[in-house]
Amino acid sequence: MTSRRDDLCRPQRLHFSDYLDGAPMPWWRRLLVAFHVKYCPACRPLYRSLEATQEALSALHTHDE
Amino acid sequence: MTDAAAATPDAIAALEPTLRKFAFRATKNADLAQELAQATLASALEGSRSFEGRSQLRTWLLGVLAHKIVDHLRRLGRDGGEGPEDPDLLAAPDSQGVERVVAARHQLQRVEAALAQLPERERLALLLEVEGVSREEMCNALGVEPTHLRVVLHRGRHRLRRLLEKDEVR
């Protein structure tokens, strides 16, 4: 059984990766996701965690010798 | 945009170390990485006219290499697939989660080890993205449609995030 929080958050979380990438999305969706990552107490750390993961990944960029 | 004339034999050969390093990260097999990098160089030198200069030579070569990696996996009977949808992928981290992931930023080896645990297609997609390969080139290399690529990247990132947070790196 999912909690009410899960019902509210899950649809937004599905778009976190695209939002992080700046991928094209409808303006209203971008607004919803932006609001959610800023104000949701559960999703704010998740989004920051995703940002940190992406930053950690960027350290793998291969520098040409 | 890059001039197609940039695809000289010397310029292509100079990227061999980059290709070998990328192939090793994708396959975790040094001999195979060497073999795939060499095969990519050979293909590129033979087919350098097909480089139209719409992207950097580097990202073009990485796309060719990724295509060969996927072909290799298919020959092994592995389709270079990705992991299943998993509701826990989207679960919020615990209170220490963010701090752990921030620590991982400075621990390249932990990230590489976690990446090695990802399903192959997800690992390959994330590695290509890190190298600045365009979405179009990634789709061509992985043999997927753009919408599917978004799913692969989404799952790969979240799976990697969970691995780093749980410190399940073996």
DSSP B170: -
| Closest CA in chain B for residue A15 | B154
* pTM for this entry: 0.77
| Closest CA in chain A for residue B17 | A65
What is d(CA B67, CA B137) in angstroms, rounded to the nearest whole number? Answer: 10
The pLDDT value given to residue B10: 85
Report yes or no: B32 and B72 within 8 Å, Cβ to Cβ: yes
| Shortest Cα distance, chain B CAs vs residue A63, angstroms | 7
> What digits encode the pLDDT tens for the residues B119-136?
999 999 999 999 989 888
CB contact under 8 A, B108 and A46: no
What is d(CA B97, CA B101) in angstroms, rounded to the nearest whole number? Answer: 6
What is d(CA B11, CA B8) in angstroms, rounded to the nearest whole number? Answer: 5
CB contact under 8 A, B92 and A43: yes
The pLDDT value given to residue B170: 46
| Shortest Cα distance, chain B CAs vs residue A35, angstroms | 17
> Both tokens of residue B12?
């292509």
| Shortest Cα distance, chain B CAs vs residue A9, angstroms | 9
Q: Is B42 on the interface with A (CB under 8 A)?
A: no
- Please, where are the H alpha helices in B16-119? 16-27, 30-46, 57-75, 97-104, 108-116
User: Which of A17, A48, A59 faces B157 most closely, judged by CB atoms?
Assistant: A17
What number is the ipTM of this complex? 0.81
DSSP B14: T
C-alpha dist (Å) from residue B66 to B17, B73, B95? 15, 11, 37
> What digits encode the pLDDT tens for the residues B57-107?
888 899 999 999 998 888 887 666 677 777 777 777 766 666 666 665 567
Q: Is B108 on the interface with A (CB under 8 A)?
A: yes
Q: How many CB atoms lie within 10 A of CB B46?
A: 9
| Closest CA in chain A for residue B128 | A61
- Residue B60's nearest CA partner among B71, B78, B48 is B48
> What digits encode the pLDDT tens for the residues A36-60?
999 999 899 999 989 988 888 888 8
Q: How high is the mean pLDDT of chain B?
A: 82
